[in-house]
Structures are given as C-alpha cells and as structure tokens.
Structure 1
Amino acid sequence: MNTRRGFLKSAGLMLAGSSLYPLLSRAEGLGSAFVAKPIGIQLFTVFEPMNQDPKGTLKQIAAIGYKEIESAFSSRGGYYGFKPKEFKAIVEDLGMKWRSHHALGAPFKPRPGMKMPLGKDGKPMTFPPSLNLKENYQQLADEAAEAGLNYLVCASTPVATMEEIKSSIEVFQKAAEASKKAGVQFAYHNHATEFDPVEGGKTPYEVILSQTSPDLVKMELDLAWATKAGKDPVAIFKEHPGRFPIWHIKDIKSDLKTITEVGNGVVDFKKAFSAAKIAGLKYFFVEQDLAPSMDNVKISFDHLSKILA
C-alpha cells in the first residue's frame, strides 16, 4: 500500500510548455468561477530527488509547468539544505512561487502497524530529526515569515485518542497565534485517520474543526484521503465554508489503497473544483505518494490541466 511517507526515484523528463495553466473562470462543468490559478506541487512528492539534487529537481518541476511550491522536511536539514530566503530565491529564479511549508505536529513516531517505506538498500528508512510544531512552533512561524510564505501547515499530528486530539489542538493554538503575529496563516492537513471515530463517536476532524478558531486554523483538505474515508469533499466545504483555502490534489485507485497520478483514480476533481468558491480555495498542490519517477509528476500535471481546461 502506498503511503504519504513514500519516496520517489529521480528521473529525467521532457520539457513541457509552461502555458498549461488551468483556467478555471467560466470553465464548463466547474460551476462557481474564480480567478485562474496555476498548478502547484507538494515537494514531498519528489522527496528523494529533492534530497539528491534540489536545484536540479526544481528545474525539472518548473519545466513541466508547475508554478506554486509547497515544501516539506528534508534529510538535508533546513529547507532542502538552504536558509528560508535562499530557498525562496532559488524557487523564484525559476519562475515559481513558494507558498506553503509542511511541518509535523509533534516529533515523528510511527503509528501502530505503520510500515516504513524501504530505501534503496531494501531496509526500512528512518526519518532524520526535523523541526516540529510542538517543540519549535515559534521558530517555524518565524522562518515561514522570513520566507514570505502564505501558509504554515501541520502535515500530521497524533489523533488516535481524545487525549492526543486535545494535545494537538493546544499545539495548533500556539502555532496559529505565533503564525498570525508573523503574518502567516496556519492550517492543518488531514489523512484518512482523521475521519475514524474516537471516544464518544466523534471523529478527530470534527473535533478539530469545532474546537479551533476558523480564522486562526484553516484546513488543507487532502482530496484522496477524504475520498478513502468515504467523505464527500464538497459536503465538507459546505459545512465549513471558507475554511479550506488550500488543497492537496491527490488521486487514489478504486481499491482505496493505491495512490496514483491525478486523473488515474476515482477522486472527482471536477466536482471538488465546482465548490472552490465555497471552500475559499486560493492554492492547490499536486501530491502523489511513492511516485515511481518524475514522469508521473508530469502525468499528473497534464491530466489536471485537461480536467480544469
């Protein structure tokens, strides 16, 4: 089963025209119109290539046509081995914008039964130490501001019990307040487990939405994980209008286990984008866990461009 914590093999790619932006305004079948948005990518999609050659990988991403970047942790430390302003300059020199950064909500600890991705040596990989919101929220907020980011996002946090949920909400509160003072919006990214009921029948997602400020804590809905959990993204948007300014554009096959290229699975992207105005969408980032090569990154871009055209 593919997981978000998968790793990619680097590969070359053919230059793709940068004119393939999704023009969403008045697009047939997309319902409510909003201003045209360029396609973004979550760099966890290219975790291994970014560790091996961040500048070269970013050049390939720009050549495909991606214009927005959301970063994640790196085994190089910092922001792929760079300071915030340095990484921002590299991204912008390639004609892209760095919009958002993912950080863990707490020190990484594998969930029970979780299988770690295998490295090139065939052994389970280990994550390098990295900043997390529980211990380093102020530093992360300050660095996001230094980079001029729009969003600082909690990528994952413990939510298996009500105690863990309450603890995570406390972390969100501190991180969100620090982010606001720094001029950055805080947000939370979901997996499928947030929709599993805990004590009292409530789901972690319901509790987080109800017990955090809609202004301080926005949500980054991952469309594939919501679909895997049997949830309708549009229904979620309508229940909490304006709270979903950023999305993960991820697809999943009919087995609801295998993450695949955008357009090659069962996620109804046109339906989701029809509710973009209700959701308050501003930016969206393609993500494919454990993608085999950079070719898959291009396939997702091409398919999403057609979906939105």
Structure 2
Amino acid sequence: MLDRRRFIKNSSALAFGGMLLPNQLKSLLGRTSAQPVGVQLFTAMSIIDKDLNGTLQKIASIGYQELESAFSMKGGYYGLKPKEFADLAKSFGLSWKSHHVLGAPFKMPAGGAGGGQFAKTAIPKLPPMKTLLTDHQQLVDEAAEGGVEYLVCASTPIKTLDEIKTSMEVLQKTGEACKKAGIVFAYHNHSAEFEKVEGQIPYDLFTSQISSDILKFELDLAWVIKAGINPVDLFKKHPGRFPLWHVKDLSKGTNIPVEIGTGYLDFKPIFENASTSGMKHFFVEQDGAPSPLENITTSFNNLKKIIG
C-alpha cells in the first residue's frame, strides 16, 4: 500500500500531466529517447567498396545507428541489390533510411562531386550511373524495394535558367513517383543553390515552384552556412520542410570539410531549432574524408558532446 506522502506525490504528478497539452506531454516523454545518429556513406567512399562488411561493422561499433547511402564504384548499392543491402545493414544493427541519386542532366564538375567545393580532395572518377532524367521510375522502385523512407537528389545542374527549368521538371516528376510509392523525396543543397542565376536564386525557385507534398529538403548545414545563410532562418521560412540534415563542419579559412567539432560551425542553436525544421534524421558527412573511419569516430564523439 502506498503511504500518504507517496500517494499525494504521484497524484500531483498525474494531475500535472493532465494539465499539459498533448504535444507538450509528448515532447517531455520524447526526451527519454536519444536521437539516433546517422552517417552518409559518401564519407567512406574511398574504402567501402573494398570492404563493405568491415566498413559497416566499424560504423556500427562507433555508435552510428542509421545510414544514408550514395554512389558506389561497384554500381548499384555497393555491388548489391537494394534488398540485399538493406538486409546486410540490418545484420549490423544499422537502419537504412535514405539514398542519394543524381539529378539530370548531370555532369561531374571539375574537382569532383559537390560542385567543386572540395576540389583539393581526391574524389575518384565515378562509373556511369542512372539519373533521374531517364531512370527516375527505376530509382524510385529500387528505393521502395530496399525499404528506404527517403530518396534524395544529391545534385542537379543549376548554372542557367534553362538548366534550372529542366531540373525542376525532373524533381517534380520524381516527387510524384515517390509519393505514389510512399517514399519522401528530398533535395540536397550545396552552396550554389543560394547564388543568383540570371537574377533568380535556384533554392527560392525550388521551394516556391514545387509543392511541399512533392519535394522536401535535406539541408546540408555546412554548405548553407558557407553560402552566408543561417539555417534557422530557413527553418522559420519553411517550417517542417527539412526532415533530413547533413551535419558537417568546415575548416576556418579554407572551408574544407573536417571532423565535427574541429571547424567553425556552431551546431547548438541549429539543433535547438530542430523541431521547427521538421528534422527526422540527420547524417554526419565529411566529403573526401582522408581517414574515413577515424574521422567519423571523432565526429561522432564530438557531436555527442555538442548536442548531448
């Protein structure tokens, strides 16, 4: 039997809980579960095709729980079919949440992927790959086969208004196909999307001309900050439209991707506004990482200290 003091204490707690709005109570309860930390496998591009199992095992041992896949020198999904890769990831306790594909038409820029923003790093020449221009339905079907929740356009040409128009048409039709398949379609930015092209800002065109039920966004925090934009301002301008983030740091002066916590980005205020953004998953990424497994270990440990 409860003693009188414990009874009063428990009754007060229940009464307080009843006074909370459902969302407030949900928020408090949600704090008991830590946000899983994911990693973008492009970070491990230099090693993953040489030892897929070993790389995934190490990623899991560091403490990462979620994966976002990208390009593979073996083609497909690191040489596997979508379901095979999903099962392999699961065997290591990893959840495959998202996959990157190329927009259309796509031309590899000088210096490698990413719009040449880390041209000093060694990015290998990629094999021919399917793009959303000609293969969007197949890429959507493969994502569905693998059970991923998100399909992300990693990059698309935006140097001219004609390129932007073509890219938007491709994003629209891919988003419609994803919606039918029950997959969320998103666009991943670099810094170029925030630079004027013939008087227009590509990112503004994407957000205004394509509806939010067709296109969400994966915000690369580093590249948007490099462009001079505060991520929190974007969250407030487009609340709920950023279910995915790329969390990467940049070195001061050179803006080369480095381990989280060793660059100049301040992540705390960004994470404090995660609910406004609509963030569901985030992935640590370091483009052209010189020692991928060591680098993502440092990033994981530092990120845990930064965001608790």
Q: Normalising by structure 1, what TM-score?
A: 0.85
Matched, 1:137 2:136: yes
Unaligned runs of 5+ in 2: 1-26, 114-120
Pairwise mapping of residues 41-190 of structure 1 onto structure 2 (< 5 A)? 41-111=39-109, 114-116=110-112, 125-190=124-189
Count of equivalent residues: 273
Is the Cα–Cα contact under 8 Å of residues 34 and 276 in structure 1 kept in the other structure?
no
Shift in Å, 1:33: 6.8
Match of 1:38 in 2: 36
Counterpart-to-counterpart distance in 2, 1:91 and 1:217: 27
Shift in Å, 1:51: 1.3
Counterpart-to-counterpart distance in 1, 2:210 and 2:179: 14
Deviations 1:20-61 (A, max 9, x none): xxxxx77xxxxx979631100000000021111111110110
Counterpart-to-counterpart distance in 1, 2:122 and 2:57: 30
> Larger relative contact order (C-alpha < 8 A, sep ≥ 6)?
1
Counterpart-to-counterpart distance in 2, 1:123 and 1:271: 32
Counterpart-to-counterpart distance in 1, 2:224 and 2:126: 25
* Aligned with residue 268 of structure 2, among 234, 252, 270: 270
Which has more helix, going by share of residues?
2
Q: Provide the secondary structure at the position in 1 that maps to 2:187.
A: strand
Deviations 1:214-234 (A, max 9, x none): 111000000000011011000
Q: Provide the secondary structure at the position in 2 that maps to 1:155.
A: strand
* Aligned with residue 277 of structure 2, among 276, 279, 282: 279
Match of 1:248 in 2: 246
Q: Provide the secondary structure at the position in 2 that maps to 1:115.
A: coil
Identical-residue share of aligned pairs (%): 53
Matched, 1:207 2:175: no
Match of 1:224 in 2: 222
Counterpart of 2:38, as a letter, is G
Counterpart of 1:214, as a letter, is S
Shift in Å, 1:273: 0.6
Shift in Å, 1:123: 9.1
Is the Cα–Cα contact under 8 Å of residues 106 and 157 in structure 2 kept in the other structure?
no
Shift in Å, 1:108: 3.7
Counterpart-to-counterpart distance in 2, 1:289 and 1:116: 10
Q: Provide the secondary structure at the position in 1 that maps to 2:151.
A: strand
Is the Cα–Cα contact under 8 Å of residues 137 and 174 in structure 2 kept in the other structure?
yes
Counterpart-to-counterpart distance in 2, 1:37 and 1:307: 13
Deviations 1:71-109 (A, max 9, x none): 001011110000111000000111110000000102541
Range with greater deviation from structure 2 (45-54 or 149-158): 45-54
Pairwise CA RMSD: 1.9
Is the Cα–Cα contact under 8 Å of residues 228 and 256 in structure 1 kept in the other structure?
no
Greater Rg over alpha carbons, structure: 2
Q: Provide the secondary structure at the position in 1 that maps to 2:155.
A: coil
Q: Provide the secondary structure at the position in 1 that maps to 2:97.
A: strand
Distance 1:107 1:308, change over 3 A: same
Counterpart-to-counterpart distance in 2, 1:236 and 1:115: 28
Is the Cα–Cα contact under 8 Å of residues 123 and 288 in structure 2 kept in the other structure?
no
Counterpart-to-counterpart distance in 2, 1:249 and 1:150: 19
Deviations 1:98-140 (A, max 9, x none): 00000010254133xx2249xxxx9984210111111110001
Q: Provide the secondary structure at the position in 2 that maps to 1:167.
A: helix
Is the Cα–Cα contact under 8 Å of residues 59 and 94 in structure 1 kept in the other structure?
yes
Match of 2:8 in 1: none
Shift in Å, 1:257: 2.0
Counterpart of 1:38, as a letter, is P
Q: Provide the secondary structure at the position in 2 that maps to 1:199.
A: coil
Match of 1:306 in 2: 305
Q: Normalising by structure 2, what TM-score?
A: 0.85
Deviations 1:197-220 (A, max 9, x none): 1112x2111111111111110000
